[in-house]
Each structure stands twice: as structure tokens, then as C-alpha cells.
Structure 1
Amino acid sequence: MPQQKIYLVGAGIEGWEGFGAKALEVINEAEVLIGHQRHLDIFPAFKGEKRELGDLSIMLEFLKGTDKATVVLGSGDPNFFGVARFLLRNLPKERIEIFPNVTSVQYAFARIKEPWDDAIFVSVHGRGLKAAVDRIVAAEKVAILTDAKNSPAAIARELIERGAEGYEAWLCENLGMADEKFTKTDVKGLLEIEASSLNILILIKAWEPTLEQYPVIGIDDEEFASVKKLITKQEVRAVTLAKLQLQDDLVMWDIGAGSGSVSIEASNLMPNGRIFALEKNPQYLTFIRDNLKKFAARNVLLVEAYAPEGLEELPDPDRVFIGGSGGMLEEIIEAVDKRLKPEGAIVLNAVTLDTLTKAVEFLEDHGYTVEVSCINVAKTRGLTEYKMFESLNPVYVISARKGEE
């Protein structure tokens, strides 16, 4: 005997008025109605069994065994950060039929009169905040489903910490209720608002600080704050980024980030990627913070730690740049090798033959195919009426991929 279908029906902002005729028909014919109490209350005259939605595993066991016609009520579109994902993952898809409604996000965008087809959607409800903010900072327009812990104010604090406060903010509270409220502010203004527990936060990019005059790649060395001009020079930086072979949505570790110049230009090249800049030297920390803020490197997260200890909590990398090792090169390569994703790459910059020799030896011992490029740069400098070339120290750019011939 075929199992009964399960109907997922989305409630709209206005309750009864939001249901289509077919959705109301399957509800009227159902024997069991499952949902949060506010959804069950929409149907006071329902004659079948009402079950309040709580523990999803308990609901799942019921649905697996029942032969009763059952409707599960949700908000808006059950496929949009809703219960559908859980049920589709755990039940045969042929048992499930979905009746979507207008989502709270659609409604919010309509009320603030802002198109939403170019927005991204992020939920921090019951999820970690940092991973969500990684997505938020790469977006021009974003709608965020919040919760009590990851509130609009908490999101604002994280954005400000990353130097990403250049958004117009709409706080949309208690949608569809008598006390619904829409507040237009900015990211800093969110810190002063105690938001309702039922809210959606919409952020729209309003400005990008001081970036108009800077290129995506090839920023002049003088633009970066640094210690005694100890920085990966512009020409070497360009070759380093080329050897990293960056793609838009990768995870990159920048170990010994120094002034952060490589991380910042990598950020420009992969705005949807995640970059973790490890630096612990107190001489550099002030400078890297200033640079990350100046260039609005929103998807670069400064990790104040010495490698390899600081790597444990980071997501596995697709690309690793080692600009400084603090005498721990072998230990760093050992730690990176255990975490680097398949098809990943490691790039190191060395200025001494000793570091070059050790790096090549360590990498080859770990099964990497290694290529070394020696970058010799000479730049003109004015000398009375003549121009002469002044040579910079050669830099060895070491690129390594595992298992390649």
C-alpha cells in the first residue's frame, strides 16, 4: 500500500488570506495538522488532530510511520530556510508536495520598495555568525534571518570589526503584525536598537571607503603601512598572486601576513573567497589592521597567532601563501600538508638561499612537485639629469602542488 503524501504548506504574512485554494483544500481534507502554535491557531475549526511542531526527529518518526493524510505548516516558502530541507533529506521526495507562499523576505523587500532579485540570502538562525558574515561582506545586497544570539546588533559589531560598515540598513520587525515596524539606519545605528525577536535585516551597499583610486592588483607599495618598508614588493606580489592561481570562492591562508598586502590584493581578486591572515608579531599588527580597514578587505580575517598553532581552528585551505615562518618552516609545511585540499597549492617567498633550499627540500619530501621562479627587479631612480636602475634583492617564488608531474 502506497504511503500517504505529506503536504508542506506555507503560511503567508496575512494568515488566511495568504493561502491558495489548492492549499486550503489539502488542509481541509487532512487528518493531521503539524505546525508552530501561531500557524495552528489560523485554523481553529480544524476537526482533525493538531500536533505542535517541536523536535524535528519526533516529527520525522511520526511521518515515516503514519498512514494519515498530513499537512505540515511553515512560514512563507517551506523551501526557503524552512522545514522542507530537513524532510526532503530524510523522506522520499515522491511523498512530499510543497505549496509555497510569499516569504517574509519578499514581503520585507516589497515594503521598503527595493528589488530583491540581486540580493543574497543568509540565515544565522541557530548557525555560527562568522561564517555568515564571510558571505555578507562579499555582497552588495543581503537579507539576513537573525536569532536572539546572532542579533542585528551582533552582526553590526562583527561588520564594524572587519571595517565593513558601508551599508544602508533596514531593520524589518514583526512583519504582518499590528506592530510591524521598518527602521532605516546604518550599520553603527544597529548597535543602538534592541530589535524584536521576529526580524529580518536587509543590508544594501551604500559606499566603499577610499577605494576608487586603487587598482584591483598592483597597489603601490607606498600605499601600505608597514615596518621599515618590509613588504612584499609590487612586482613580486603580482607574480606571487599569479602562482597562487586564485579563484573566486576559495579559502586561502596567508601565513606571516606582515602588512597584509598579499591578502588585500587576493581579496580583490576573489571577493567571494575567505582569506585568513595569520600574524602575531606586535610590530605588524597595528599596520595590518590599518591596511585592512583602509582597503576595506572585508573577506580577510586577521588571526593573531603564530603558525602552526593558529591553524587548528581555520577551515581547510585551497591555497596557502607563506610569507614568513618565524623559523618554523618545516613545522608549518607539515601542518599545511595535513589540511590542504586536493588540487590545492602552496606558494612561498624566500629571500635567502638557505630558506630556498630548506623549502624545496621540505616540500619535495612531502610529495610536492616544486617550481621556483627567481624574480629580479630593477627600477629606475632619478640621479641629476640621468636615470639609472637600482636593483632590489632577488626573491625566490616557490610554488608547490601535490602529486603533479
Structure 2
Amino acid sequence: MTSAAPISGPEPSDPTEVTVVGIGADGWSGLPPASRDALLDAEVVIGGGRQLGLLPDDCPGVRIPWPAPLRPAVPGLLAEHRERRTVVLASGDPMFYGIGRALAEICGPDALRILPHPSSVSYACARVGWPLEDTEVITLVGRPAARLAAALHDGRKLLVLSADASTPATVAALLRERGFGPSRMNVLQQLGGEDEACTEGTADTWQQPPGDPLNVIAVTCRRAPGTRRLGAVPGLPDDAYEHDGQLTKRHIRAATLGALAPAPGELLWDVGGGSGSIAVEWLRTHPSCRAVSVERDPVRAERITRNADRLGVPGLRVVTGRAPGSLAGLPVPDAVFIGGGLTAPGLLDACWEALPEGGRLVANTVTLESEALLAAWHRRHGGDLVRLAVAHAVPVGGFTGWRQAMPVTQWSVTKPRPAEHAGPAATPDAGENQS
């Protein structure tokens, strides 16, 4: 039986199969017959201490609490009890930020029989009257609170899965700091249990003492007057970043992200990070995107980290060091952006070599020397070579005129697969930089 197979009624478990039972705050009384039968039939029950404590005495299985850290212990613990009927207890729906994911990755889905319980998210939406499909869920369990910032948009409904009893106060403080103090908060505790409770207020006025550690926070986002509005697409205002002038400006940044074309789950190398704006906005396109920003200046590297935290992508990895040397050992990228240091010996070669077939490379420059280098690579590998120019209207006496920013030369290319042709071959002129 697989996790996807319908369950018509209780069946004796195969000794090599692990049954995963979701349980809520209502404990044994909230379990359906199939889940109860699995637990009554189990020889071994593995779970968190709180979950094991919800079982009645007539469940005969040996109760084993998960050790810490949990993930490394899973294979050995399951192997130890392989020949015994084993049930793993999970909180709510095991496949929603639960142990089910780790078990499926370790054992394979065909080795599991999963009996879910309503998740805390389903209970929370039922209590506050929100449609589940219109509600964004963010977990802060084992994750930094700063990741909440990327989801803050006026009128948006968020459900925050708390790490512990202190999380509501942490969320309220973050909302105030990010200019969302008027946001409404409903802290829902022990959902589905006898001690279920709800505490309400706004982030601006939140002074509630810590309550139950088992809680979910429903946040109705409200932006305070005067707070800068940040959109959901690349091209955030330049003043959204802390910087020292080393910043890919807004309009060029939007064009650069368009050329990089991030997709869910992909990894970016941002080489010559500056203020980190390209990596930050790559990460903001989807929660599963990943990025590494490489910056030689330690002061700027620290600034990149602060920008990532403030804009809701604290998962940005920052590597302090000179490229190409600091690129060694990094995970294989899906895309590479080079925003500085193009003329460093071997940099383009290292980035091109690191890219897998089908990977993208985008490089920007404002200098003639780097432009000549990009032109040579364009002749060898094809792609698009463009010049981007932006002018801003500024006062000229009592009138208005255009002030031209430095034009940016951009080369973007996709590394060809074996059956593809990068473009017509060309013999470089004598004297070209052969990096």
C-alpha cells in the first residue's frame, strides 16, 4: 500500500511498512477509526513527547520519543524496529511541514501508510473565516522571523506557524519595524483541543504575555501611512536598500532579473554582490529560490546580509572573498550574474565552466575594457549583447531636462546543450582579451 492509495478500513500493517498517524490537540478523541486501529495494533510508536502523551494507556506499543537532532536519527531508529509494526505520530497533517516529508525522502513513499489529521492551517482558516486557497502560509519553525517580511503586502492574509510561545511577540515586533504596525493579529492556541483559545490585537499595541507554545498567528496585513510600498516583482526602489553606491539601479536591475529568468528552486551565483540587490530580488521571486552572493569587501558583505534580512530573504548565503578563487566548492548554479570584477583573470572562464548545460549567464558592465571582453565572449558563444540606457527628468533652471545615467552593456547567454549551436564561429581580432 502506498501513501496515495485509498484506505477502505483498518488493515494489518506489513512489518516493513511504517504507518504515519496525524494527531491534533484533541488527541485520541479526534482520531478516526483507521488511525486508532493502527495505534492499537502497533508494537512501536515513535513521536514527540507531547504527541505520545496524548495516547491512552491501552495503546500497547513501546513509546519512543524522537531524539535531538531528529533528522539524522530517523534512518537508524526505523532500521532498529524494521521487523516490528511501527507507527510514527505526527502533528496534524504529516505532509504539511511535518515529519512525513523526511520519512518519504528517507524510506520512499511506497514504504509509508499515511493517515492525516486536519492541519492547524485548516483549523485556523475555519476559525477566522478565511478561504484556504487565498491564504499564504509561512512557517517560522526552525526558520528566522525575517522571512516574514517578503510576504508583507497591504491587505494580504497570512498564517504564521509559530516556533514557540514567544513567536507572537516576535512577529508583532517585526511588523512594527517593517511599517505594518496596524496589522491585525489573531493568535490561535491549541486548535481543535479542549483548551482552544484566541487572543486578538494589533502589532502596534501587542503586549500579550506568552501563551501556549502550540499556536498559529493569523495576520491581516495593514501598511502604516508613509511606509514605502514594495512590489512583488523585480525592480524595487533603490532606497529600499542600504548601499554605498555599489548598487545595480532599479531599471537596470529589473532588466537583469528578466534576463536571468529565475524559476522555482533554482540557484543563482551573484558574483560581485555590492549591495546584494540582484540576489535579494532573485530570492523574492519564489520562496524556493536559492542564491549565493560573493563579495570581496567584508563591509559590503555584511551590508548584503542586512539587506537580505530587511527584505525578507534571510536565506541568502553570503561568501566573503575574491572571485574566481572564492567560487570553488559552491553548489552548481542554474544561473550566474557577474556585476563586478569582469576583468579579473579567469573569472568569466570559471563561471562559464561552472554552469551546467542550459544554465544562464548574465554580465553587466559600464567600462570600455569589460565591454570589449563581453564582445569577444559574445562572438565565441552567442547570446544577446545589449546596451541599456536610462535617463531621469531633473530640474534645469526653471525647466526640466534629461540627465543620462551611465549606459550599461549587458551580455546574456544560455550555455548550449550538445545538440545546440551557440552561433557562428569567429576568429578573434589580434589583440583581443582572450579571458
TM-score higher than 0.5 here? yes
1:222 is displaced (CA, Å) by 9.8
Which one of 408, 414, 425 corresponds to residue 401 of structure 1?
414
Change (3 A) 1:43 1:155: closer
TM-score, structure 2 as length reference: 0.64
Question: Retained in 2: the 8 A contact 1:60–1:87?
Answer: no
Change (3 A) 1:86 1:346: closer
Q: What's 1:346 paired with?
A: 361
1:287 is displaced (CA, Å) by 10
The one-letter amino acid of 1:352's match is T
Question: Retained in 2: the 8 A contact 1:323–1:349?
Answer: yes
1: distance between equivalents of 2:239 and 2:174? 29
Which one of 44, 50, 53 corresponds to residue 65 of structure 2?
53
Change (3 A) 1:154 1:338: farther
The one-letter amino acid of 1:399's match is S
Change (3 A) 1:187 1:14: same
1: distance between equivalents of 2:320 and 2:97? 35
Identity of aligned residues (%): 25
How many residues of Structure 1 are paired with residues of Structure 2 in the alignment?
389
| Structure 2: gaps (5+ residues) | 1-12, 68-73, 423-435
Change (3 A) 1:194 1:260: same
The one-letter amino acid of 2:369's match is D
1:1-400 pair list within 5 angstroms? 3-4=14-15, 6-28=18-40, 30=41, 32=43, 34-36=45-47, 37-46=49-58, 48-55=60-67, 56-57=74-75, 59-66=77-84, 69-91=85-107, 93=109, 96-125=112-141, 127=142, 129-130=143-144, 134=147, 137-138=150-151, 140-147=156-163, 151=167, 163=178, 168-175=184-191, 180-185=196-201, 194=210, 196-207=212-223, 209-211=227-229, 236-237=252-253, 239-247=255-263, 250-256=266-272, 270=285, 272=287, 273=289, 297-299=311-313, 305=320, 307-308=322-323, 317-325=333-341, 329-330=344-345, 332-333=347-348, 336-337=351-352, 340=355, 342-359=357-374, 369=382, 371-375=384-388, 393-400=406-413
| Structure 1: gaps (5+ residues) | none
Question: Retained in 2: the 8 A contact 1:253–1:275?
Answer: yes
1:353 is displaced (CA, Å) by 2.0
2: distance between equivalents of 1:15 and 1:358? 67
1:11 is displaced (CA, Å) by 2.4
TM-score, structure 1 as length reference: 0.67
Question: Retained in 1: the 8 A contact 2:39–2:87?
Answer: yes
* CA root-mean-square deviation: 5.2
1:20 is displaced (CA, Å) by 1.8
Question: Retained in 2: the 8 A contact 1:356–1:396?
Answer: yes
3-state secondary structure, aligned to 2:386: strand
Question: Retained in 2: the 8 A contact 1:35–1:74?
Answer: no
3-state secondary structure, aligned to 1:329: coil
Change (3 A) 1:96 1:196: same
